Amino acid sequence: MPSSTTPEPGSQLSSSRATYRFRCIGCGGLSEAAAQDFRCTQCGNLLEIVDPAWASGRLNPATLKSTWWQRRLSNSWLDLSGVWRFRELLPAPQFEQCAVTLREGNTPLYDLPRCSRATGVAQLYAKHQGMNPTGSFKDTGMTVAATFARQGGYGWVACASTGNTSASMAAYAARAGMRSMVLVPEGKISWSKLSQALDYGALTCQLRTDFDGCLRLLQELVKRAPVYQLNSINPFRLEGQKTLAFELLEQLEWQPPDHIIVPGGNLGNSSAIGKALLEMRDSGLISRLPKLSVIQAEGANALVRTLREAEGKRLVSVRAETRATAIRIGNPASWEKAVKVLRATGGACEQVSEVEIAQAKAEIGAEGIGCEPASAVTLAGLKKLLQRGFVKIQESVVLVLTGNLLKDPDFTMEFHSGDLFPGPRYEQESGKLKPFRHPPVVLDADLNAVIKILDQAEKSTPAPSHA
Ligand code: F0G
């Protein structure tokens, strides 16, 4: 049976440079090992990973940048990972023998010409984490955390999930030869995410509760059974997710954008990106911090309310409801980490409506680079931040697209066929979605009928403008 704590740094690594520690985000206590629930044994708060080497001036920024760049030309399997390429700023660098990788990371940074025109923001980009091996940003964290799980000798890994974590965990567990257990809310995650977990061989439990209920149960389970939890409470996950920011800055020639906008659910990803930005500043890789802003769905707006109603001092949890099921979370575990990085970078927090999310998703899709609904909150949120004057049109903005369009085909089909918002509740607001819909047309297999419909479309819909 595996031990009840995570391996001590350096215990099973080939690296002699494993100098990281766990630090409590509440009391600041440092420890060499973490309990199964990744909470501080003194005050119960969450742990993060720190390494004095990252900010001590021991790492030369120019050397780091050129090493990372050189690795892009390498065919070594570790360098081919867009996560392990940045291993100097990850815990336990250089453990070539045991990294569990699916060549994650290396995701594209796209410009968004049509959304630029619509919003007025000339320098508008999308960092598409949906282009990862299992279709979401989770892979960048999972490669690191699954590696530590395997090093720790765990036979079982487990997570609670709104779908993407479970798909990713199941894939990495399969690669690592570990068994995986998935806890998902019954009927509340998309079929395509569920089907990924099944195909990768996870023991998949659909619990009659919501995501928050699944996570509560998992927290108890890890204390009773020898399973290693791979939720974003696991700080190794967040270390891997930091690489989004390293890679983004490299793609921008190390010129920080003014704003990075990210969706917020359990708030692990925003915390990870913020941590990376601060570490990059402290180690001299960048001289200026982008503002990191978090956008939530109106129906799952715990962070928005926490900041507005409790000044970020205590969590205001909510009963979450949104069609952006990936972020249907009312009791975000990493809320304190997120509040810290929002404050440290000067970012904002906003909420957007269901109709705004649907429209933004269609607008991103019209760029030819679709995403899932939870990712589209970033564009919808940008519009709000522009209205508020928090973002100015002459500033540069990066939207983090967290999941692939194919993750939630039901949403897309219902949107285009006009069934996404049934009933009177959204009738008025959803009227504006009509121009964005492209429902399929059913025809006899008759050439004239097809030519006729082509003719009609030519007359009634304007040709898309060139990028
Ligand atoms: N976008 C997508 C596509 C997600 O799957 C998630 C979270 C988020 C955004 C929010 O990120 O939780 O770090 O704030 N999905 C988790 C899951 C909860 O189980 O797949 P977060």
Residues in contact with ligand 1 (CB, 6 Å cut-off): 136, 161-165, 232, 263-270, 326-327, 372, 374-375, 402-403
CA dist 226 and 228 (Å) reads: 7
pLDDT given for residue 467 in this prediction:
55
Mean pLDDT of the chain: 93
Q: How far is the CA of 252 from the centre of ligand 1 (A)?
A: 25
pLDDT tens sequence across 377-422 = 999 999 999 999 999 999 999 999 999 999 999 999 999 999 999 8
Cα separation of 460 and 452, whole Å? 12
CATH of residue 401's domain is 3.40.50.1100
Q: What is the pLDDT of residues 315-328, one digit of tens each?
A: 999 999 999 999 99
Place of tokens 């940045």: 86
Residue 406 covered by a domain = yes
Confidence class of residue 7 from pLDDT cuts 50, 70 and 90? very low
Mean pLDDT (whole number) for 95-111: 90
Distance, CA of 86 to CA of 253 (rounded, Å) = 16
pLDDT value at residue 461: 77
Kindly state the percentage of the chain with pLDDT values over 70: 94
**Do 185 and 209 contact (CB within 8 A), yes or no?**
yes
Whether 466 has a pLDDT exceeding 90, the answer reads no
pLDDT tier at 226 (50, 70, 90 boundaries)? Answer: very high
Cα gap 288→8, rounded to integer Å: 34
Any domain includes 379? yes
pLDDT exceeds 90 at position 207: yes
The CA 453 to ligand 1 mean position distance, Å, reads 40
Determine the average pLDDT of the residues in 445-453: 97
Given this model, what pLDDT does residue 96 score? 62
Mean pLDDT across the stretch 334-341?
A: 98
Does the residue 445 lie in any domain?
no
Structural domain includes residue 161: no
Q: Is residue 17 part of a domain?
A: no
Collapsing DSSP to helix, strand or coil, 240 comes out as: helix
3-state secondary structure of 400: strand
Rounded average pLDDT over 146-175? 96
The more confidently predicted of residues 416 and 464 is: 416
Contacts of 447-453 spanning 24+ positions with Cβ under 8 A: none
Tell me the CA–centroid distance for residue 389 and ligand 1, in Å.
27
Cα separation, 216 vs 160, in Å, equals 9
54 or 135, higher pLDDT: 135
- 304 is a domain residue: yes
Give the three-state DSSP class for 128: strand
Over residues 279-311, the pLDDT tens digits come to 999 999 999 999 999 999 999 999 999 999 999
Task: Name the residue of 242, 244, 327 whose CB sits within 8 Å of the most ligand 1 atoms, as the mutation to test its pocket.
Answer: 327
Share of the chain above pLDDT 90, in %: 88
Query: pLDDT-based confidence at 57, cuts 50/70/90?
Result: confident
Asked, for residue 104, whether it belongs to a domain, the answer is no
Mean pLDDT of 165-179: 98
Output the CA 138–ligand 1 centroid distance in Å: 8
pLDDT recorded at residue 55: 75
**pLDDT value of position 95:** 60
Instruction: Count structural domains, the chain.
Output: 1
pLDDT at 8: 43
User: Residue whose CA is closest, atom 10 of ligand 1?
Assistant: 265
- Tell me the mean pLDDT in the region 437-463: 93
Residue 59 has pLDDT above 90, yes or no: no
Residue with token string 């690489």: 243
Confidence check: pLDDT of 358 > 80: yes
Average pLDDT over residues 113-134: 98
Mean pLDDT of all residues in 439-464: 92
For residue 60, report the distance from its CA to the centre of ligand 1, in Å.
34
Q: Where are the beta strands (DSSP E) in 267-337?
A: 291-297
Dihedral sign computed on CA atoms, order 360, 365, 369, 375: positive
Task: Report if residue 340 sits inside a domain.
Answer: yes
Residue 360 clears pLDDT 90, i.e. is over it: yes
Average pLDDT of span 268-288: 96
Q: How far apart are CA 440 and CA 102, in angstroms?
A: 36
Range of the domain at 255: 109-135+241-413
Q: Is the pLDDT of residue 36 over 50?
A: yes
